[in-house]
A and B are shown apart, each in its own frame.
Chain A
Amino acid sequence: MNRNLIHGLMVTLLLISSAYAVKVGEPAPDFQATDSNGQMHKLSSEHGKFVVLEWHNNGCPYTRKHYESGNMQRLQKDWTSKGVVWFTVISSAPGQQGYVTGQQENEYLKQMNASPTAAVLDPQGEVGRLYSAKTTPHMFIINPAGVLIYDGAIDDKATTEQADIAGAKNYVSQALEEAAAGKPVGMPTSRPYGCSVKYAH
């Protein structure tokens, strides 16, 4: 049977089941995807660790705000050094802004001095749609038990200006600090801000 057809059916099923599939306080849906080095990653294999998902588009001015300032790289470094798994997820479709091949992404990571655990390539938008990722950036945190504990913005300053980062409250760090200390996350959701994710039409 036609592989594309099967693939299309699977995506459709995923889409149907994904309405409200992601909710803070509930198990984060599992996914499997390939990174920029061709390595396969499965969310459920990271059981026992905190996992951060960062939706990314290197051409989006909101993403650029956090990379050209070094803010995202700092977060990646700080949290991965503490054992957190950080997946940068790229759901831009081929031909759309932010779409990259594995090699292009590796060059970008090197140039930007970025160090996520892996940059996951999701050109079909399956992982993005599974999580209803709306914007770049859009951040999710999954706790060691596999439960989603944060879904929202990177911080409380919804602008493209780097100058706003210094005075911003970083929701991701705040949630990770609270959760790591065994406390409930005070701000479990916020409105994600940024460019729309450039999904395949």
Chain B
Amino acid sequence: MLNRSCIRWPGVFFACAVWLVIPVFGFPKNPADEHVQLELISEQNAVVPGKELWFGIRIDLQDGWHTYWTNPGDSGEAARIDWHLPAGYEAGAIQWPYPERLSTPPFADYGYQHQVLLMVPVRPPAGLKEGQTQKIGALVRYLVCREVCIPGRKELELSLPVQTHAASESRELFEATRSRLPRPVPPSWRISATSRGDEFLLNLRIGKLDKEPEFFPLEAEQIENAAPQEATAIPGGIRLHLKKSKYLLKPASRLKGVIVISPGGGYLLDVPVLQSGRDYTQTRH
């Protein structure tokens, strides 16, 4: 199979030729390496037995390049991390900072430019002995795009000693990233969603805002990513008009996403969608 495709197609042939010279010259650089740098970092300078600590994959992107949020939008793919941890460790999920909308009309993606830290909480086992060295590994698979897209794969490693106390090392970056993680909505907020015609109406009774908020759907196929999110005033707040995705064939029962307000940051929404009966029948033709 490999041999046949090597002969059949010059690009593959080249790839095979590279593959053959690996033993002589070492691993070739991933083409994505030219545009992105990845590093595995720890917030603490040591592992404290049984105490949660935060690791992060820091992604530094060349100008013009971007990588993706957990919902990438109309194209692209979110990064994935496979952890290689010592026995007894438990890694949590990536905590995604809210993204920016990367618009290429008529489509839009959700992602990050310049720099992003993908933070993951990790709990080491309680029975670790002081003085041991812990080797933490992560295989990151990611996609970076400009006009073109390049998939990347990177093995990252980090060693930390086990100590009874730890000091913060990369605190600033972790703290800055924490301020971009979506938070639960304050209890005083009143949020509801209605399905009307080809729109969702997201009613945010959250007081006065200086700037129009922006909604980022956590699930694909909910809203048209590139459609403008028109804001209108309602008593006690603002209403966002979100155009339904054409991939939404069944009525959505919940609207999940991140609402970003300025100043304030990102808040996690998960609200039931009320069906506005009359208007709903209109969309069924």
Within 8 A of A (CB), among B211-227: 220-221
Partner of A152, one of B5, B198, B247: B247
A160, closest chain B residue (CB): B151
Q: Is A188 an interface position by the 8 A CB rule? A: yes
Given B5, B141, B148, B220, which contacts A195 in the complex, CB threshold below 8 Å? B148
With A23-B246, A24-B249, A159-B77 as known contacts, state yes or no: A112 contacts B151, CB within 8 Å.
no
Contact of B106 among A97, A129, A188, A194 (CB under 8 A): A129
Q: Are A111 and B151 in contact (CB under 8 A)?
A: no
Q: Which size class do A's interface residues fall under? A: 20 to 34
For the complex formed, measure the closest distance between the CB of A26 and the CB atoms of chain B, giving whole angstroms.
9
Q: Tell me whether B158 is interfacial, beta carbon within 8 Å.
A: no
Find the residue from B107, B141, B150 having the highest chain A CB count within 10 A. B107
A interface secondary structure, majority: loop
B247 CB contact (under 8 Å) in A112, A161, A189, A196: A189
Chain A neighbourhood of B8, CB < 8 A? 111-113
Within 8 A of B (CB), among A149-201: 151-152, 158-161, 188-191, 193-196, 198
Q: Is the beta-carbon distance between B149 and A111 smaller than 8 angstroms?
A: no
Which residues of chain A from 56 to 101 have a CB within 8 Å of any chain B CB?
59-62, 68, 70, 96-97
For residue B104, CB closer than 8 A to chain A, the reply is yes
Inter-chain contact A195/B75, CB cutoff 8 Å: yes
Q: Mark B175-196, 1 if CB is under 8 A from A, else 0.
A: 0000000000000000000000
Report how far A113 CA is from B1 CA in the complex, Å.
13
In the bound assembly, the distance between CA atoms of A190 and B248 in angstroms comes to 9
Please give the distance in Å from B53's CB to the nearest CB on chain A.
Answer: 30
- Tell me the complex Cα distance, A97–B148, Å: 7
B210 at the interface (CB under 8 A from A): no
B151 CB contacts on chain A under 8 angstroms: 61, 160-161
In the complex, the answer to whether B150 meets A20 with C-beta atoms within 8 Å is no
Contact A111 B9 (CB under 8 A): yes
Minimum CB–CB distance from A123 to chain B (whole Å) comes to 16
Is there an interface contact between A132 and B143, defined as CB atoms closer than 8 Å? no
Whether A160 contacts B77 by the Cβ 8 Å rule is yes
Interface string of A100-112 (1 = CB under 8 A from B): 0000000000011
Q: Is A36 an interface residue (CB 8 A)?
A: no
A134 touches B75 (CB 8 A): yes
A135 on the interface (CB 8 Å rule)?
yes
Minimal Cβ-Cβ distance residue in A for B226: A134
| B92-122 vs A, Cβ < 8 Å mask (1 yes, 0 no) | 0000000000001011010000000000000
Supposing A129-B106, A189-B249 touch, asked if A60 and B10 sit within 8 A by C-beta, the answer is no
CA distance A152 to B247 in the complex (A): 8
Inter-subunit contact B10/A111 (CB<8 Å): yes
